[in-house]
Amino acid sequence: MTDENADALKILSGNLLTSKAEQSAAVITNKEITGVDLSLLKFFIGNHSYNGIILCIDRPSSFYSRLMSENGLKPPAVHFIDVGFQSEPSENVSVISEEPGDLTFIKIEITRVAQRMRMKAPDAKIFFLNDCLLTLLLYNDEKVVGRFLHELYLKLRELNVYSVTVLQPGQPINAIVERMSDRVVKID
Amino acid sequence: MVSLKELLGSPVILLALSAEEYYQNAYKTARELQDVYGSLCYVSIEKPACDVAAELKAAGLRANTLFVAGPAALAEKRRKTPEIKCSECGLAIVDLTVGIFGLIDRYHPAAVVIEPIAAIAKHNPEMEAAKFIHYLANDSRTHKRALVLICKKSELKTKFVKDVMLFVDKVVSD
């Protein structure tokens, strides 16, 4: 882990999961996204033993699997939702072959996976990682993506799943996501 | 009335029923499907789940392999059928997802009936409702589960039901 990632992990540790009521966070960063992803995975999986749901739009599930195994992260359970990749579906990989503009399929799949994980382990800690908001905005306008996130995150709250959205500074959609998030953390 | 033969052999079917005796025919179809497939998930979009559970039981469906999803009833009007697993849910797509797939993923019914499908489009944008049906149809085929979508005959000409026809394997009318 680089010094930069270690610093990011320190910031996350000081700012997230500070109250039991907290169920969502926006992480605003201008750092390399994969480094921030690693810090988030280390924080939730390594430090706090969370199970995870990862939306994979910019990189396939195999990338995150490798990232975790290379860094010694062995989560109890992680489910990947690959969108637009030619991955092989498996017990922990759902594949949505449609383009990332199809928010309905993505929303249904994330909700279903979250509920299934909750049914399997009613007391488990589960987080949802969305690091591909800007890509969703390439295919849909801001209002549509904002409504999608709002509906999805409300449902994830009901299922007691912690939502994490990674944002880049200065994006118009940030205001919407920050309002929906219980914590806003900046990693500069 | 539609013969049972017409409902077998194709995984995803759209069944159009006359408005007269609509529920009687829908419940009769459900009973026949339960007899053939063994277990059945019945999704009611317009009537509360607990009311439909009681009505299906009265129509002769076996409670131990019947699972019902649908809107919640007012507490004081709730009909009690504790022997039937019910999932009360809202009608937005995410709520239907939780309600329906909560039963499917937990109990693995061999067949699913949803009625009336046009009502899903009344509570959601039409495109989203159509994609939800599309997702259900794909999932049913993948898991070799029968899916019977019921609409009223008068709804066959609506744009939404015409869209749904694109995803089904067969359209049957009474």
pLDDT at B80: 77
Query: Per CB distance under 8 Å, which residues of B are interface residues toward A?
Result: 92-95, 97-98, 101-102, 105-106, 127-128, 131-132, 135
pLDDT tier for residue B81 given thresholds of 50, 70 and 90: confident
Domain range for B61: 14-173
Tell me, yes or no, whether B112 lies in a domain.
Answer: yes
Q: Bigger pLDDT: A27 or A86?
A: A27
B141 close to B170: Cβ distance less than 8 angstroms? no
Are B93 and A108 in contact, with CB atoms under 8 Å apart? yes
Look at chain B and count its residues.
174
Compute the count of residue pairs across chains A and B with CB atoms less than 8 Å apart. 44
What per-residue string of b and e applies to A70-92 under the rule 16 or more CB within 10 Å gives b? eeebebeebbbbbbbbebeeeee
pLDDT at B18: 95
Calpha distance B171→B7 (Å, rounded)? 9
What pLDDT band is residue A98 in, cutting at 50, 70 and 90? Answer: confident
| pLDDT classification of B21: cutoffs 50, 70, 90 | very high
With bands split at pLDDT 50, 70 and 90, how would you rate the model's confidence at A1?
Answer: low
Q: Furthest-apart CA pair in chain B: how many Å?
A: 42
User: What's residue A71's pLDDT?
Assistant: 93
CB–CB contact B94 A112 (8 Å):
no
Please check whether residue B8 lies inside any domain of the structure: no
Decide if B9 is inside a domain.
no
Q: Model confidence at B79, in pLDDT bands (50, 70, 90)?
A: confident
Tell me if B148 is assigned to some domain: yes
Residue at B89 is within a domain: yes
ipTM: 0.87
| Contact call for A119 and B106, based on CB within 8 A | yes
**Statement: residue A4 has pLDDT above 90:** no
Other CB atoms within 10 A of residue B142 CB: 10
Q: In chain A, whose CA is at the least distance from the CA of B89?
A: A155
Q: How many CB atoms lie within 10 A of CB B64?
A: 8
**Rounded distance between C-alpha atoms, residue B146 and residue B149, angstroms:** 10
> Quick check: is B82 in a domain?
yes
Where residue B43 sits, what CATH number does that domain have?
A: 3.40.50.300
- Beta strand pairing status for B12-17 and A183-187? unpaired
B135: chain A residues, CB-CB within 8 Å = 104-105, 108
B5 within domain boundaries: no
Is 90 exceeded by the pLDDT of residue B76? no
Tell me whether residues B97 and A112 touch, CB distance under 8 A.
Answer: yes
The pLDDT tens digits for A52-92 are 999 999 999 999 999 999 999 988 899 999 998 888 889 99
Mean pLDDT score across all residues of chain B: 93
More confident residue, B9 or B100: B100
Residue B12 confidence (pLDDT):
96
Residue B159 lies in a domain: yes
Residues of B in contact with A116 (CB under 8 A): 101, 105
Q: What pLDDT is stored for residue A87 in this prediction?
A: 86
Q: What is the pLDDT of residues A131-185, one digit of tens each?
A: 999 999 999 999 999 999 999 999 999 999 999 999 999 999 999 999 999 999 9
DSSP code of residue A87: P
> At what angle are helices A103-120 and B93-107 packed, to 10 degrees?
40
Number of domains in chain B: 1
Q: Which domains does chain A have, with CATH numbers?
A: 22-141+155-169 (3.40.50)
